[in-house]
Amino acid sequence: MFQKLAVAAGLMAALIACAPKKETGSQEWKKQSFGKTASGEEVELYTLANSRGMEAGVITYGAIVTSLKVPDAKGGIVDVALGFDTLEGYILGPDPYFGAIVGRYGNRIAKGRFSLGGVEYKLAVNNGANALHGGLRGFDKQVWKAKPAGQSLELTYVSKDGEEGYPGTLTATVAYTVTEQNELRIEYSALTDKETVLNLTNHTYFNLAGQGEGDILGHIVTINADRFTPVDAGLIPTGELRSVERTAFDFRQPIAIGERVNAAEEQIKLGKGYDHNYVLNGAGGGLAVAATVTEPKSGRTLQVSTTEPGVQFYTGNFLDGTLKGKGGKVYQQRYGFCLETQHFPDSPNRPEFPSAALKPGARFQSTTVFKFSATPGS
């Protein structure tokens, strides 16, 4: 009898040890297969969750955020990130960089050239005459090594010296955490063995009404920036830091994207809408609010905080209805917006911009937080 009891107790203890933890803040991550790349590399999908119902899907291909399920004011949960149901969707072009970690250098480097320490480097050119988002095979097209822990996932990619033309072996780590405050926290860090340049960002397209649920023109945006970096016809910054005052770029007070996205202004025409880097006020002082976006009908709000000096506000101008995304949704122009926290585009050729250089022995560190909340809408 005693023996039977002891066995039963042992069994119970084993069962309890195996059961997913239920207490606040200790939800388990989940892992499943997401297919194989053409070269046979396995890709995994991790799901990170908090106890309030928020969930982020992240795949090891491109460290891509494939979904962001967030609660709304009415108790529903909606996926607010554009993406694909399958790995093929992410691999086949044209590449919108949905949800990806972009690197080694996010956004454009003019003519794919820059000099560092007296040496001129030539990069892979993939956007007219310019290098965009790390080149032909940037960090968004590599399989990262994953290390999950609780509500976090740490992903590492080692970029070889000379890859896409960049100097130095760069070890980049991105840690995603879904916090109990309904945040997706992204912590970037990197080390190099030779001086290099880097600009890491996350390229999630948000639609706070739900992915595929129409355009984002009604979303109300505030950006904490008095200045932006105007561009030339190739979307390369001219070097000017221009005041947003009396332009369509002034988001210091909340205003709907659709109010001025087609304004008769040269910069809007060049960008086909908003596709510009904002110079964040008070940068350099730690984690600070860069932008806030609200979708009036759902009452859902996204607040973006970052330690980076800039943010690329991009309104999905190049989406044109050719991409079929999750759940068969067709993504038309302006069906999503991105807030890509970053160093300014083309910084390696602009000594007057905050430096994007990294020397051996120094650790690059950067944090961005996407925080979701919801107030009852109209």
What are the residues binding ligand GAL (CB under 6 A)? 96-97, 107, 132, 235, 275, 312, 314, 318, 340
Q: Which residues contact 25 (CB under 8 A, 6 or more apart)?
A: 50, 51, 151, 180
What single letter denotes the amino acid at residue 124? Answer: A
Peptide bond into 363 cis (omega under 30): no
Query: Which residue number, 132 or 172, has a Cβ lying nearer to ligand GAL?
Result: 132
Q: Beta partners for 31? A: 46
Closest distance between ligand GAL and the C-beta of residue 37, in Å?
Answer: 21
* Catalytic annotation present for 340: yes
Whole-number Å distance between alpha carbons of 279 and 310: 5
In whole angstroms, the minimum distance from the beta carbon of 192 to ligand GAL comes to: 23
317: nearest Cα among 332, 295, 304: 332
Q: How far is the CB of 33 from ligand GAL (least distance, A)?
A: 28
When the beta carbons of 46 and 188 are compared against ligand GAL, the nearer one is 188
User: One of 203, 219, 276, 343 is an active-site residue; which one?
Assistant: 203
Least Å distance between CB 111 and ligand GAL? 16
Question: Which CB sits closer to ligand GAL, 308 or 340?
Answer: 340
Handedness of CA 354, 176, 127, 247 (dihedral sign): negative
Q: Which is nearer to ligand GAL, 108 or 371 (CB)?
A: 108
Active-site entry in 133, 219, 340, 343: 340
Cis geometry, peptide bond prior to residue 345 (ω within 30 degrees of 0): no
CA distances to 138, 156, 215, 364, 374 from 77, in Å: 32, 30, 19, 35, 11
Question: Could you give the residue numbers annotated as active site?
Answer: 203, 340
